[in-house]
Chain A
Amino acid sequence: MTQLRKNLSVFTQTSFKNIWSLLNAETQEFTKQKLFEVLHKEQDHTLRRQIADTIGEIAGSVLSEKADAWPKFVEYIWALFGTNTPNASVSAFNILETFLSYAPDVFTKHRNELYAVFKNSLIHSDIKIKSAGLKALSTHLQVLETKEMTIYEDLVLPIYEAAYYLLIQDSGNDEGL
Chain B
Amino acid sequence: MSGLQQISQLASNILQSSNNELRTESEKALMAMRDSNPNELVVLFLSLLESKSLLNQQLHGVVFIDGLNLT
Contact = CB atoms under 8 A, between A and B. Distances in A.
Interface of A: 1-2, 4-5, 8-11, 15-20, 22-24, 26-27, 30-31, 34-35, 37-38, 41, 44, 46-47, 50-51, 53-54, 57-58, 61
Contact of A19 (B27, B38, B57): B38
Contacts of A23: 38-39, 42
Interface string B5-22: 000000000110000100
Nearest to A60: B71
Given A17-B34, A38-B49, A5 B67 contact: yes
Contacts of A47: 52, 57, 60-61
Interface in B1-50: 14-15, 20, 23-24, 27, 31, 34-35, 38-39, 42-43, 46, 49-50
Contact of B70 (A4, A10, A44, A58): A58
A37 B46 CA distance: 10
Nearest to B47: A34
Nearest to A58: B71
A54 B65 contact: yes
20 contacts: A1-B61, A4-B58, A5-B67, A8-B23, A8-B62, A9-B67, A16-B69, A19-B69, A23-B38, A23-B42, A30-B43, A30-B46, A34-B46, A34-B50, A46-B61, A47-B60, A50-B65, A53-B65, A54-B70, A58-B71
Contacts of B66: 1-2, 5, 16
Contact of B42 (A8, A31, A44, A53): A31
B68 interface: yes
Contact of B39 (A2, A8, A27, A35): A27
A38 B50 contact: yes
B43 A9 contact: no
Contacts of B62: 1, 4-5, 8
